Chain A
Amino acid sequence: MTSTATRPTASGPDDRPKPERAPRVLSFSHRMSRWDLKVSPYLYISPFFILFAIVGLFPIVYTAVISFQEWDLVRNSGTFVGFDQYIWILSQADFWVALRNTFSIFLLSSVPQIVLALFIAAMLDRNIRAKTFWRMSVLLPYVMAPVAVALIFSNMFGDNHGLVNNILTSVGLDPIAWHKDPFWSHIAIATMVNFRWTGYNALILLAAMQAVPREYYEAATVDGANAFRQFWSITLPSLKPTLIFVVITSTIGGLQIFDEPRMFDTFGRGGAANQWLTITLYLYNIGWGEFNFGRAAALAWILFIIILAIGLINLGITRRLVRDEGGRGVIQRRRRRKGAQQ
């Protein structure tokens, strides 16, 4: 899979003549401009971090404070209870069911989603008529409000009068217990998620595909590689960094899934036997259903830690993959260093 790296055209930047190193003259304006070069990027990005500190960091810290308390929302006061709230959450069977459901829905949505997005992107990457129209249409589901999506799909996945079950029974099959069987409820919810996010991911992947130099494909065609072989050996490896980005974002999104399971039935509590209770839904039920914000805050932190852990695992995999394969920046730097030694 290192084909891209070994192709002569891939090392384009390396062909540039190496610049002569200029002698260092540290005049004031030079120092200023160096300073400008170093500091101003941070100034430019600072609004985000200042804003984040106010609307992001503060709530996170405040949540941590509340999570160690028995909190009364109305009177805005609490008593310190140490790790009791965390222990309570971890000892709940509901929590572990919610964790199972979250991962199940996440896998059922992310995997087919990315495969399908890749396929759609590959199709859109070809020379088709009315390109912009098709590309826009792919993004359309993403623009729809999740609530609207859920309304449409809850009509489809109705147990008695749903579209899918009507079709199944009309061809003599058994209707599916969408709201009873955990697996099928996860399938239904994952379908809603996939409907919404596949197009979005497809466009990101398409953008990355467009960046793959066309010469590769021309050369491959000359060599007699068919379309599938080209996709497998050229497109996919080039997409690796983007794919990893897509995987990470959909992991974070998947672990926080809320709208779709909440809209899946009228009660929005995750099913009578917690069939489709997800972690965020559980969090919501504790917080805004029972107004127990101490426990909800503890659960929020547990979720935060889970996402962090998964993120780190992702990062580890990413690093390894990038070092071995695609990541242009890393490879270039390594090559350049090698070049300097010679």
Chain B
Amino acid sequence: MAIAAFSASAIVLAGCAGGNDDAGSEDGEITLTLATFNDFGYDDELLQEYMDENPNVKIVHNKAAITDDARTNFFAKLGKEGLADIEAVEVDWFAEAMQYSDLLAEVPDSAKGRWVEWKEEAATDADGRLVGFGTDIGPQAVCYRADLFAAAGLPSTPDEVASAIDGDWDTFFDLADQYKAATGKPMLDSANSAFQGIVNQVEFPYDEPDGTVVATSNPEIEAAYNLVVERGIPNSAYSGQWSDDWNASMANGEFAAMLCPPWMLGIISGNAPEVTGWEIANAFPNGGGNWGGSYLTVPANGKNVEAALALADWLTAPEQQEKTFVNVGAFPSAVDAQAAPSITDSTNEYYADAPTGSIFADRSEAITVTPYKSADYFKYNTALQDAITRVFDGVEDAQTSWDTYVAEVEAF
């Protein structure tokens, strides 16, 4: 599973990956190591299925707690020794990994064309080599508290809310203004998640493929910043997500709406198991947007590249993506899986039996722009999110904070 900002979570608990010393023995048996993080839904049952089909293969699955651990491990060992045969890579640092695409094995032709177009495109390097097997994607919808919306005199059924949101970000913030006027409380959880939602709709947010840096000169980015500062911050309960306070806040009605990719559903229901009001609106401001999603990669200098490619191929095939959706709600990046009945017919009891499968399939179709993320994307994006946080905290005013951001970018 790919939880973008979860990677930022600093709980450095554990994270072991690697250990592929005993690969291969005399009777042709191969040990494949698979390194993932958070939860991809690759449970023992699923892996056993592959081992039953391929009796000569033994799979050892190492899970890092968070993607930061996996990222550190990946870059410390890439091009050297010690990486697993299959390494999961988060979409936020995938661009950094793409700098070293020559060190990753190419996806076999038979698997090409399996994923949604933009997912595959992002994993293809300048030489046309596809080096990542897409796992999940994060098409965003809007989760909201139906009870709080109703109490504020706003539309509250999923369809009504969806049509109220349908429009651009101003439409969305108009709704937030109404909510605030009625209750005195912010409607949205965090200003930075709104900002992330907007940036994910900009094609070249910070730099262009030819290396031109537009991080401080891009009018779209400056407009996004200004919009969030002017309209997002007054309507947000927090500056950023993932803090202890934010986790606690999902249950206590401090705010009434969140932008939610499929993997966020489990986070809300996990943090607020007793709350009954959460529902999902099949809409997203300004169309669609993707947040999160991962790839499986095979380091080219591994001991069992062929066998590893076969396993990665199998794990990301539509049938298996359906299973991981059932396991952990990882929304498939494979086109065929998205259309499978097990996905389209799925519902979620917590969210008033919302047809989550078809909602997110719709949201996936609504994605028209996937931002170009260079290796420096993470740096620029973090710096600008910090700028928003500074304004939110009242440490700096909007203009000063933007200037600080410009100075920071110039220093990179």
Contact = CB atoms under 8 A, between A and B. Distances in A.
Co-complex (A, B): yes
Interface of A: 73-76, 92-94, 147, 151, 154-155, 158-162, 177, 179-180, 262-263, 265-269, 272-273, 275, 288, 290-291
B181 interface: no
Contacts of B249: 160
11 contacts: A73-B75, A73-B76, A74-B79, A158-B245, A162-B245, A265-B10, A269-B382, A272-B387, A272-B393, A273-B386, A273-B404
B126 interface: no
Contacts of A269: 382, 386
Given A177-B393, A273-B389, 9 more contacts: A76-B79, A154-B244, A158-B244, A161-B245, A180-B395, A262-B10, A262-B12, A266-B8, A267-B240
Contacts of A266: 8-11, 240, 242-244
A-B pairs, top 7 by smallest CB distance, nearest first, are: A268-B10, A272-B389, A272-B386, A180-B393, A266-B242, A160-B245, A267-B8
A184 to B, nearest CB: 12
Nearest to A150: B10
B396 interface: yes
A74 B240 CA distance: 32
Given A74-B103, A160-B245, A273-B390, A267 B379 contact: no
Of the listed residues A155, A267, A275, the one surrounded by the most CB atoms of chain B closer than 10 A to its CB is A267
A219 B244 CA distance: 57
A74 B79 CA distance: 6
B79 to A, nearest CB: 5
Contact of B79 (A75, A263, A291): A75
Contacts of A179: 393
A268 B8 contact: yes
A265 B245 CA distance: 10
B151 interface: no
A155 B72 contact: no
Interface of B: 8-13, 72, 75-76, 78-80, 96, 100, 103, 239-240, 242-245, 248-249, 379, 382, 385-387, 389-390, 393-396, 404, 407, 411
A161 B250 CA distance: 13
A177 B392 CA distance: 12
B390 A272 contact: yes
Contact of A74 (B12, B75, B386, B404): B75
Contacts of A154: 244
A272 B384 CA distance: 9
B190 to A, nearest CB: 12
Contacts of B387: 272
A180 B394 contact: yes
Contacts of A75: 79, 100
B90 to A, nearest CB: 14
B80 A273 contact: no
Nearest to A269: B382
A76 B80 contact: yes
A201 to B, nearest CB: 26
A161 B407 CA distance: 34
Contacts of A288: 72
A267 B10 contact: yes
A263 B379 CA distance: 20
A273 B395 contact: yes
Contacts of B395: 180, 272-273, 275
B78 A147 contact: no
Contact of A159 (B79, B103, B245): B245
A270 to B, nearest CB: 10
A92 B244 contact: no
Nearest to B79: A74
B252 to A, nearest CB: 9
A210 to B, nearest CB: 39
A92 B245 CA distance: 32
B239 A272 contact: yes
A273 B76 contact: no
Contacts of B12: 147, 262
Contacts of B243: 158, 265-266
Contact of B393 (A94, A267, A273): A273
A196 B411 CA distance: 37
A180 B393 CA distance: 6
A158 B76 CA distance: 34
Contacts of A262: 10, 12
Contacts of A161: 244-245, 248
A127 B386 CA distance: 54
A154 B387 CA distance: 23
B285 to A, nearest CB: 24
A94 B396 CA distance: 16
A98 to B, nearest CB: 14
A290 B379 contact: yes
Q: Which of A180, A266, A272 has the largest count of B CB atoms less than 10 A from its CB? A: A272
A160 B396 CA distance: 20
Given A74-B103, A266-B10, A272-B390, A291 B244 contact: no
Nearest to A182: B395
Contacts of A158: 243-245
Contacts of B10: 262-263, 265-268
B357 to A, nearest CB: 31
Given A262-B10, A265-B10, A266-B8, A291 B80 contact: no
Contacts of B393: 177, 179-180, 272-273
